[in-house]
Amino acid sequence: MKFFIIPNMTRENAPSVTMDVIKELLALDCRVFMDSSLKTAFGDFAEITFDEQKFLLNSCDIVVSVGGDGSFINAAKLATENNKPLLCINAGKLAYLACLEGDELRLLSGVVKKEYITEKRMMLEVSILDKNDRIIYHSNCINDAVVSRSGVIRIMKLSVSCNNAPLIDYMADGVIVATPTGSTAYSLSAGGPVIDPCVESILLTPVCAHSVFSRSVVLGGNSELEITHDNSGEAILSCDGQSAVLIPEGAKVSIKRSQNYASFIKIKNDTFIDVLNKKISG
């Protein structure tokens, strides 16, 4: 079995955890692939194949991400684009998406034996449309899409419609549109609820709303949202915490369920509630 490993080298524990992952996989007679940029850090392993990421992603069986939830989200997009399942190994702190902790690598033998299941996680398709309804930006999100003010921090009016019907107007610092997976990320920090990933839905959470109605709204998974702002200043869109994109004056943000799903490998028998309780209480 062939594994492409993507470590987040900015995480303090990631290099050592990655070393342990490599040793475990090689002991299981697996092939290990890594991007050529990591040869300096892991070149002591003669068995590793180093090459450009695009070639290795195409030929591997499983993508392995070592880091935290942010690392997992970035790796999941690459894995999804190449139709590969993702195995997440925690080298951070909370890591709601982690399949294994750093001290559970013995369980990798179950992956090699194919004693695992894959969880399909809903994604969002996000576009910016100009005044003529032409798509000028497009992305897929696993966690969330956030519309907020650029530059000066002040409230803005955001109008949200659902399935071509007006839904709600917010006077707020911004609005978060999240998947169930993203409900434990920025939306949770903004006061939103936690949603089990098996419940396909779209979560709408305002950021610091200056209005009587400031609660999150949970919508059906087939909902199609459009968000516009009042043009009183520059607004930006950020997908999964990536670099923000300017929303031109008169443009709108379109958000709906993506046709693509991210596939996360699950080895242990713990439920979503088990993971939630462990992470929150820990």
Instruction: Tell me which residues are annotated as active site.
Output: 69
Closest CA to 78 of 44, 46, 115, 33: 33
Q: For residue 37, give both structure tokens.
A: 């940029």
Question: 247: which strand partners?
Answer: 235
Q: For residue 120, give both structure tokens.
A: 């399909």
- The CA-CA-CA angle for residues 137, 135, 148, to 5°, reads 50
Q: Are 187 and 205 in contact (CB under 8 A)?
A: yes
Q: Are 7 and 67 in contact (CB under 8 A)?
A: yes
Closest CA to 79 of 267, 262, 265: 262
From residue 47, how far is each of 4, 59, 167 by CA, in Å?
Answer: 13, 16, 57
Cα–Cα distance for residue pair 169/152, rounded to 1 Å = 21
Helix, strand, coil percent values for the chain (each to nearest 5): 25, 40, 35
Using the Cα atoms of residue 30, residue 35, residue 41 and residue 45 in order, give the sign of their dihedral: positive
User: Which position has the token pair 């709204």?
Assistant: 217
Q: Are 202 and 124 in contact (CB under 8 A)?
A: yes
Q: For residue 74, give both structure tokens.
A: 């970035």
